[in-house]
């Protein structure tokens, strides 16, 4: 079978080279004409495919007319077509390439360590933005709080880009690697969430499919294990660390470590509690969520469109492409992504015009 395929290929390439030779002999001009026509044909077909199937307007849903109109008026990005790079629109490719394609702006943080009453520690990285022109007074300068995702830190390039955006807007930034879940959120004026995993059961199931297990799950598991390894001498007293280090997936890691550490009777109890989808009813600050329909970390069938429609404080922006924290945009997306634009416009709108968003529920 292999042999005959090989032979066929051989014959084919031979025929092709004879064909090309003839073309060249007939006249270099005609030869390159055929090549050019082929290239143009492919190009036109691809462009057609791109315009009809790849470049699309995002879908915006909200539980309240007021919030919906506010977004349309103050954040034009929510109504604009999202153009992923024509050479890199596929979900996994975007997700994997984004850290390499985008630049890493230089940012210098001031760290603050806070001891929690339960013995825990909260590490805050501040970007004070003393050079702010629009808000020179520290006491009234708006503060933007950023929380990186799983295994993320204040050094992730997507975080650095958001710091950069806020620096330009004149705001200061606070980055917390851990915040109490029951913190009083009433001081927040607005929230924007990117590529949230809505239902942890669905997210882990999606990441256990063969290709995604190979591309993402194993890597994330090793990052989680590395953070356990750093504190091994302390953790060893209470957990079977050898067993934890042998986990092959995030779910196995959570079963053996995370759920136990946070005192859940089972891993399913932990996953239920960690799934924002069950808490959307109680959100009381204006919250915009951006998800890509092709995100393998947060499968589209688990995006809570109906739940969002039930709460006037919520809005959901769904793009067809973008992957997980990908959202690369334009020809060569080095400095700003679609996500950065959503962030910038929303933060600016909430800080400047957010007063109209009070009492959305009433």
Instruction: Please report, as ranges, the residues that interact with ligand NAG according to CB under 6 A.
Output: 74, 184, 186, 348-349, 352-353
CB of 74 to ligand NAG, least distance (A): 4
Q: Which two tokens mark 71?
A: 């977004």
CB of 71 to ligand NAG, least distance (A): 10
Pair type for strands 143-146 and 59-62 = unpaired
CB of 79 to ligand NAG, least distance (A): 13
Count CB-CB contacts under 10 A for residue 93: 16
* Nearest to ligand NAG of 74, 204 (CB atom): 74
CB of 122 to ligand NAG, least distance (A): 16
287 neighbors 190 (Cβ within 8 angstroms): yes
* Nearest to ligand NAG of 268, 352 (CB atom): 352
CB of 73 to ligand NAG, least distance (A): 7
Helix-, strand-, coil-residue percentages of the chain, each rounded to 5: 50, 10, 35
Long-range contact pairs involving 166-170 (C-beta distance under 8 Å, separation at least 24): 166/127, 166/129, 166/347, 167/127, 167/129, 167/132, 168/344, 169/134, 169/344, 169/347, 169/348, 169/351, 170/129, 170/132, 170/133, 170/134, 170/135, 170/141
* Nearest to ligand NAG of 184, 238 (CB atom): 184
């Amino acid at each position: 079978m292999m042999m005959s395929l090989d032979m066929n290929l051989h014959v084919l390439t031979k025929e092709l080279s004879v064909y090309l030779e003839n073309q060249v002999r007939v006249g270099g001009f005609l030869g390159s004409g055929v090549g050019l026509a082929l290239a143009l044909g492919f190009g036109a077909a691809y462009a057609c495919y791109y315009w009809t199937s790849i470049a699309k307007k995002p879908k915006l849903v909200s539980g309240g007319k007021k919030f919906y109109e506010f977004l349309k008026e103050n954040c034009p990005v929510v109504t604009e077509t999202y153009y992923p790079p024509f050479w890199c629109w596929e979900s996994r490719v975007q997700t994997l390439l984004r850290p390499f394609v985008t630049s890493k702006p230089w940012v210098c943080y001031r760290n603050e360590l806070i001891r929690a009453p339960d013995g825990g520690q909260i590490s805050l990285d501040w970007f004070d933005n003393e050079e702010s022109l629009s808000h020179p007074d520290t006491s009234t300068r708006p503060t933007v709080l950023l929380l990186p995702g799983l295994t993320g830190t204040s050094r992730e390039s997507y975080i650095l880009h958001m710091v950069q955006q806020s620096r330009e807007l004149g705001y200061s930034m606070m980055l917390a690697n851990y915040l109490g879940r029951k913190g009083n959120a009433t001081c927040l004026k607005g929230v924007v969430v990117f590529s949230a995993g809505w239902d942890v059961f669905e997210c882990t199931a999606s990441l256990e499919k063969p290709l995604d297990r190979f591309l993402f799950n194993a890597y994330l598991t090793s990052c989680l294990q590395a953070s356990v390894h750093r504190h091994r001498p302390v953790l060893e007293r209470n957990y079977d660390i050898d067993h934890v280090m042998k986990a092959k997936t995030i779910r196995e890691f959570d079963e053996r470590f995370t759920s136990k550490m946070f005192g859940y009777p089972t891993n399913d109890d932990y996953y239920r509690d960690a799934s924002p989808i069950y808490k959307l009813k109680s959100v009381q600050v204006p919250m915009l969520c951006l998800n890509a329909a092709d995100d393998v970390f947060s499968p589209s069938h688990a995006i809570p469109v109906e739940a969002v429609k039930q709460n006037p404080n919520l809005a959901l922006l769904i793009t067809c492409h973008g992957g997980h924290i990908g959202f690369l945009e334009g020809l060569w997306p080095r400095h700003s992504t679609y996500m950065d634009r959503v962030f910038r416009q929303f933060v600016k709108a909430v800080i400047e015009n957010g007063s109209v968003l009070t009492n959305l529920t009433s």
